[in-house]
Amino acid sequence: MERTKSVGSPATDGKILWRNDGGTFRLNHRIIKPKQKFRAAPNEISKAFRNVITPLEEIEAETNTPTPIEVVKTEYQLMPRGKSKSLFDVVYSVGEDDKGKPILKAINEKALPKAMAEKLMHDLSKR
């Protein structure tokens, strides 16, 4: 059985040739020593290390810009604690159970009087 070595075209998975001009570091469970050449994808090398690790081939322009995350405003509600008419909890919805009822989570540890609970709810909704 004869072994053949493919010569010529680099890997097609987007990896390019790099050279380590700094100290020893680990990359993908490999130890890269100073002045060593290695192959890695541009997204595997942090931009903070680009002054120490230099590309020996042309880097393709990065076209994948991260999509912005939509900010969801949390809506707070006042719920009486148990059967009390004077003590309240400030709650918000964290999801739904199997029957479609909302699961509510209290923000305050102790029950608050209505005036303090309304003030807390107002302060939280400012953000």
pLDDT in tens, 81-119: 999 899 999 999 998 999 989 999 999 999 999 999 999
Confidence label for 70 from pLDDT (cuts 50, 70 and 90): confident
Residues 113, 81: one domain? yes
Domain with 34, as residue range(s), is: 16-55
In a domain, 6, yes or no: no
Strands 30-32 and 25-27: antiparallel
For residue 63, what are the CA distances in angstroms to 43, 54, 66, 69, 98? 12, 20, 9, 18, 42
Angle at 47 between CA 45 and CA 53, to 5 degrees: 60
pTM: 0.45
> What mean pLDDT comes out for the span 41-55?
87
Confidence label for 50 from pLDDT (cuts 50, 70 and 90): confident
pLDDT at 36: 93
In a domain, 60, yes or no: no
Report the domain count for the chain: 2
Between 4 and 23, name the one with better pLDDT: 23
pLDDT at 62: 60
Cβ burial of 117 (10 Å; 0-12, 13-18, 19+) is buried
For the cut 60, the answer to whether the pLDDT of residue 122 exceeds it is yes
d(CA 26, CA 40): 12
In a domain, 110, yes or no: yes
In a domain, 61, yes or no: no
pLDDT at 88: 95
Give the position of tokens 């903070």.
Answer: 48
Residues 81, 118: one domain? yes
Residues 51, 83: one domain? no
Instruction: State percent of the chain over pLDDT 90.
Output: 40
d(CA 23, CA 39): 17
Residues 85, 48: one domain? no
For the cut 60, the answer to whether the pLDDT of residue 51 exceeds it is yes
